[in-house]
Chain A
Amino acid sequence: MATLNRENKIVDSLKEKFGQNLLEIKIQKPRRIFATVLSSALKDTISFLKDNFSINHISTISGVDMGKEIGVYYHLMGNKVEGYDNEIVFSLKVTTPKSDPKLPTITTIIPGAELYEREIYDMFGVVIEGHPDPRTLVLPDGWPEDVFPLRKEWKVDDIKAKIEKVGGDGS
């Protein structure tokens, strides 16, 4: 089995650099790291990963409804070393309270995150502060403003009832 040298190195330096802000970090298996940081340290962590380990690619941002909180996963990728080597998939998780979900934009560090941030707002209502183009991405125009379809409290039938009440016409 492959050694976990690179993974361990990333984990160690993150622990050293972020200390208290790093809530949890584990190497799930080769090439897979899962970490949780405080949302205040989100941007710093991503810049740190990008600058020091060339983890410069964001694959997507997934949200998970965790009851009182919304967990947001930034699936980052990169760390290809000279010659040819595998990449590491780094899933960075932050949480934000469901009552007032708010996260800073990371488009200043990785511009490619723009669409994913719009998607996370559409689906979970996480407000992305400082986003360059905060339009809806996937929901239709005329969608009720307080319906965030992937939150667990919204069941399919409820959403349907709500939309018919509002009279969304799909334009």
Chain B
Amino acid sequence: MSWQVVAYDLFSVLIYPGIIFLVALALFYQWVDRRVYARAQNRYGPHHTGPRGLLQPLADLIKLLAKEDIEPSAVDKMIFRAAPILLLTLVFTALFMVPISGTSAIVSFEGDLIFLIFIMTLFAILAFLAGWGSTNRFSLVGGMRAALQTLGYEVPLAVSLIGPAILAGTLSVSNIVAWQAAEGFWSILLNPLGFGIAIIGIIAIIEVVPFDIPEAETEIVAGWQTEFSGRKLGLLRLAHDLELVFVSGLVVALFLGGPTGPIPLIPGIIWFIIKTVIIVFIIGFIRAQFARFRIDQMVSGSWKYLVPLSILQIIILQLYLMI
């Protein structure tokens, strides 16, 4: 391997479209999300730090990183310290498999879609572990709810994500994007139901209203995050924003053609940002429109409506392929 290849790999992992770029993107999306949410509520949202408040998420992150990190004496230290780092690592791992600047992601192999679905489940398991390790009653209830919520959204989400894979005949996210680019159409056209279910599923993954049940502020303080403070909380927040990039990027890759577009002159990254910002908009609006569900309503509703609908979507796709 020549040094140029190593340097290129390092550059793409660390800077573009790797860690630094992703963190910047995550903070930008946090800003978009907060602005959309605020405007929908007749507020301004962040508008002071930087141009139009763009630097506010960064300022918040720096503030949290600089704050005192309180570690209660009763916590399970290993889990408690590892949880934010593990979560951040997991999100980065997942993001490397999402095509961001071109049709191919930093890492891609046949079957990485299954791996991504597996990682999404790990998010909830980590949340449960973090809640358990905090030995706080609110954290514990929050962690249990996070695990319980997985039971609700995991199956319909996985089934709906498989839809595009069936169409493209491949289980690699990058290949699905390449197939869409080659075919010249987006799989959402055949997958409208799957797209809707995927949006609902990713809202549950990033735990925002109406599915912020594991961190329901008015019920269980901050849920599984209750005991985290300072640096750890900063990392958790960052991981949350990166999750937003990841889930919106994944939905864009699978349903909206990823970082490609009808006008060839515009680089892929612009397409990616436009499409993901639309997803973030949708999430922000849904967040402003709904009240929080109760955990039992969420799980039973999901099994009653989402699972049959997602299976119906798969059947439609199969019929289409048979014709």
Check A-B contact in the complex, CB < 8 A. Answer: no
Interface of A toward B, CB cutoff 8 Å? none
